[in-house]
Structure 1
Amino acid sequence: MGGSYGLAVLVGVALLLTTGQCDVSCSGTDGRPGEAGIPGRDGRPGAKGQKGESAVMDSGPVDASVLLRLKGEPGSRGKPGVMGPKGYRGDLGPTGKPGEPGRPGADGKSVAHGEHSPQQARSAFSVMRTEQSYPAFSQVVTYQSTMVNTPGDFNTGTGYFTCRVAGVYYFTFHSVAKVSVCLRIASDPPFNKVGFCDYNRNTDQVLSGGVVLQLTAGQKVWLESFRDQQKEADARDTQEKQIIFSGFLLFSNSE
């Protein structure tokens, strides 16, 4: 009885093993590939490496590209050095080609008309008295030599300057004598006379004077001697003397 029960169990196990086997044609379907996961975060920076050794200069030719890669940061600007001596001037270069003519300028404006144009508004004279006699008191001084008389406004025979161009003039005189001399510049009204005297007791008496006058056309200007403190012997003196009388136009009234 017991043997029959054990046989039955063995048969049952054999049946279970037989029914659990699968034929080759009963394989399952392949699974799908899995999806990519989310990117991970960056890792922490690594530790700083040690400083490298200095480059060794090669004895051969230097590669410029290598030098550029090895170039360091620019340093701070240094102080300016002492200025060197001035160099020698170079030779003059050849003459350049002439430039193109410029544009014509604008027409000028006329500043004066009539007989007193800028070309005619000029007057100057300088005459010299060389007579050894003392110039007579209260008489117009006359002259024997003419240095300048342009355009001829001074009359050497009469000793008068006659204003032709109205304007401002400057008159001056210089005299050299061995006795005291008094001279004055005179003109028609409204100006009258201004006198100068020299009483120094040197061997040669030097006298000079000058005046600026506003003149109208036709006015006369002259130089004359006058009596002040001279001695009688001075008026009779016949030693060498020299008187120079000069005048010129500073500017005309039309300017």
Structure 2
Amino acid sequence: MGGYYGLFVLVGVALLLMPVQCDVNCRGTDGHAGVKGAPGRDGLDGAKGEKGDTALRADGPVDAAFLLGLRGEAGSRGLQGDMGPKGYRGDLGAAGHPGTTGRHGPDGVNMGDGDQNLQQSGSAFSVMRTETSYPSFNQIITYQTTVVNHNGHFDAVTGQFTCNIAGVYYFTFHSFAKVSICLNIASDALPTKLGFCDYNRNSDQVLSGGVVLELVVNEKVWLESFRDQQTNSESNDNREKQIIFNGFLLFKTAG
């Protein structure tokens, strides 16, 4: 019985090993397309390529220095940039060469001989107003102290200098007050009065002015106060004030 069972097993195995034939009706169903996969990662950079050949000219190779020296076409003008900060002051340069000698000046005016003639040829004054009252507007200023009055050409009572020696003169004034004061330099030799003002309220006020005039005999020069922006309280001020008026002859003229 055991022999028959072994034969049966061998016959079954042989049947399984035999080729199986199938007609067209036993074909399976076509499968569906698979889902698209996710994009892959970027690949690694490739190796650096070899250096190219040197560019060629009609008469031979061109080196790198020549290429850098080639000038391109000019571009359009750009907008002006912002001004930069002021630079540091440079060092003082070396002294220049001496200039040529200038022309001779005109001959001087004969001032006379001897001490007496020298004294009579000069003209200079310096006077001071010390009153604390505000100087009246559009009035000639008078003075209480005479510091210098060479040859007596200035009248401290009238406040006027009278020319006795024709020539070129320099006149100047200085004033000090607790309020603003405006002063004119006036003269027969001037077509208009020269006004000076400087406002610095609530503190000491200092004002100065000067002029060079060419005068002939009997022409006069004086100072006047005038109103500009002064307040009524300023024009009524009685605190300390000083006005100094000076003048002197620079040189005589033929006039």
The TM tier, using the shorter chain, reads: 0.5 to 0.7
Aligned to 2:158: 158
Aligned to 2:144: 144
- Displacement of 1:213: 0.4
- SS of aligned partner of 1:198: coil
Identity of aligned residues (%): 64
- SS of aligned partner of 1:244: strand
After superposition, the CA RMSD in angstroms is: 2.3
- SS of aligned partner of 2:234: helix
- SS of aligned partner of 1:172: strand
Aligned to 1:188: 188
Count residues in correspondence.
Answer: 145
Deviations 1:74-97 (A, max 9, x none): xxxxxxxxxxxxxxxxxxxxxxxx
- Displacement of 1:132: 0.4
Contact 1:142 1:158 in 2 (8 A): yes
Q: Which has the larger radius of gyration?
A: 1
Aligned to 1:169: 169
- SS of aligned partner of 1:234: helix
Unaligned runs of 5+ in 2: 1-108
Give the alignment of 1:235-246 within 5 angstroms: 235-246=235-246
Call closer, same or farther: CA 1:233–1:120 in 2, change over 3 Å: same
Q: Could you tell me which amino acid in structure 2 is paired with residue 177 of structure 1?
A: A
Give the alignment of 1:95-114 within 5 angstroms: 111=110
Q: Could you tell me which amino acid in structure 1 is paired with residue 133 of structure 2?
A: S
Contact 1:112 1:254 in 2 (8 A): no
Give the alignment of 1:1-255 within 5 angstroms: 111=110, 118-254=118-254
Call closer, same or farther: CA 1:195–1:175 in 2, change over 3 Å: same
- SS of aligned partner of 1:169: strand
Contact 2:111 2:121 in 1 (8 A): no
Q: Could you tell me which amino acid in structure 2 is paired with residue 206 of structure 1?
A: V
Q: Could you tell me which amino acid in structure 1 is paired with residue 165 of structure 2?
A: V
- SS of aligned partner of 1:120: helix
Q: Could you tell me which amino acid in structure 2 is paired with residue 159 of structure 1?
A: G
Q: Could you tell me which amino acid in structure 1 is paired with residue 224 of structure 2?
A: E
Give distance in 1, aligned partners of 2:187 and 2:179. Answer: 26
Call closer, same or farther: CA 1:196–1:118 in 2, change over 3 Å: same
Q: TM-score scaled by structure 2? A: 0.53
Give distance in 2, aligned partners of 1:170 and 1:141. Answer: 18
Q: Could you tell me which amino acid in structure 1 is paired with residue 197 of structure 2?
A: C
Call closer, same or farther: CA 1:218–1:199 in 2, change over 3 Å: same
